[in-house]
Structure 1
Amino acid sequence: MTLFTENVIEIIRNIPAGKVMTYGQIAVLAGSPRAARQVVRILHSMSKKHRLPWHRVINAKGQIALQDEESYQEQLWSLEAEGVEVGLNGVIDLEKYQYKPSEL
């Protein structure tokens, strides 16, 4: 496993309930600012194995990015269960809910 992958897993693991982070934000913190798509791949392939709170990761527009209806609904319900308000089209207020860790 690469250092970047290890960093991504650790960052996602530490997103608190009721907060979200963006793919790009995670990529920057993990040491590769242009690797948001790699964060998506890591999340997709390693969420179950590492029991990651995958539902707390959204796109830069503050939206749930999943296209599959079942996965979209699961993410929506998981976020709402933690107190995150999800608006129309799966939009989340980043000013209110974005987690900005000072350090890891």
Structure 2
Amino acid sequence: MTNFTRRAVSIIKRIPRGKVMFYGQIARLSGSPRGARQVVRILHSMSEKYDLPWHRVINAKGEIAFTSEDSANEQKEKLLVEGIIIDSHNRIDLEKYLYHPEIDHTWMEGE
């Protein structure tokens, strides 16, 4: 596993219930500011193996990014259960729900 992948997995695992992060934010904090698509691939291939809270990751506009209606509805339901309000335009208020982790790179070294 690359350092980027290990950091991204670690960050995703730490997104608390009732909060969200966006792909680019995770990529930047993991050391690759342009790695948002890589975060998508990590979520797609590793969510089950590492029990990642994939539903807490959205796009930078505050929207669910799935094109599949079933997947989008599943994500929406999981977020609603956690108390996250999704408006009539299917957007999440990032001012209210965006998680801003304080990253101390030493805590990621042991992951």
Asked if 1:64 corresponds to 2:44, the answer is no
Partner AA of 1:93 in structure 2: D
- 1:51 maps to which residue? 51
Structure 1 position 30, deviation (Å): 0.3
Match runs of 1:13-52 below 5 Å: 13-52=13-52
RMSD: 0.8
Larger radius of gyration: 2
| SS of equivalent residue, structure 2 residue 89 | helix
Q: Tell me the TM-score normalized by structure 2.
A: 0.91
Identity of aligned residues (%): 61
Q: For residue 72 of structure 2, what is the amino acid of its counterpart? A: Y
Q: Secondary structure at the match of 1:72?
A: helix
* CA distance in 2 between partners of 1:85 and 1:26 (Å): 22
Q: Once the 2 structures are TM-superposed, how far is the Cα of residue 32 of structure 1 from its aligned partner?
A: 0.4
Moved over 4 A (4+): none
The match for 2:88 is: 88
Aligned length: 104
**1:6 paired residue number:** 6
Q: Distance in 1 between matches of 2:31 and 2:90?
A: 28
Question: Matches of 1:5 and 1:102 in 2, distance apart?
Answer: 18
Q: Which runs of 5+ in 1 are unaligned?
A: none
